[in-house]
């Protein structure tokens, strides 16, 4: 094994660990602070003491992280695929 192959292998090993770490962190910490209101959830008016809820996060101050959003959409796609299969099977029975 020449040193270049070794380096490439180490690089891919490193990438795998980073991906695993990111997956784990998205599972444990699915939210991040909203980019628009910086996690506050509302905007304060410069006059009076009025506030306006953030439209991007609906006043919650948090949004899903990109990894978690991808995971959720994957889950949804798989579920709809499974439901369609189930429906087909039920139609075949009759």
Interface ranges with Zn ion (CB under 5 A): 34, 36-37, 54, 56-57
∠ Cα 46 49 51 (to 5°):
80
Nearest CB to Zn ion, comparing residues 53 and 67: 53
- Nearest approach, Cβ of 48 to Zn ion (angstroms)? 21
Residue-wise DSSP of 10-42 = HHHHHHHHHHHHHHHHHHH--EEE-TTTTTS-E
Query: Whose Cβ is closer to Zn ion: residue 36's or residue 71's?
Result: 36
Q: In the complex with Zn ion, which residue's Cβ is closer, 26 or 37? A: 37
Between 26 and 57, CB nearer to Zn ion = 57
CB 64 within 8 A of CB 58: no
Least CB distance to Zn ion at residue 47 (A)? 21
Q: How far is the CB of 43 from Zn ion (least distance, A)?
A: 9
Torsion angle of C-alpha atoms 11, 12, 18, 23, degrees rounded to 10: 170
User: Taking the complex as a whole, how short is the minimal distance between the CB of residue 31 and Zn ion, in angstroms?
Assistant: 11
């Amino acid at each position: 094994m020449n040193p270049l192959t070794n380096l490439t292998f180490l690089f891919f090993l490193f990438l795998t660990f980073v991906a695993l770490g990111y997956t784990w962190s998205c599972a444990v910490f699915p939210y991040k602070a909203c980019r628009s209101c910086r996690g506050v959830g509302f905007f304060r008016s410069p006059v009076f003491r009025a506030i306006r809820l953030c439209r991007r996060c609906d006043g919650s101050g948090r949004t899903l992280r990109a990894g978690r959003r991808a995971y959720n959409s994957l889950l949804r796609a798989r579920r709809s695929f499974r439901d369609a299969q189930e429906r087909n099977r039920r139609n075949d029975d009759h």
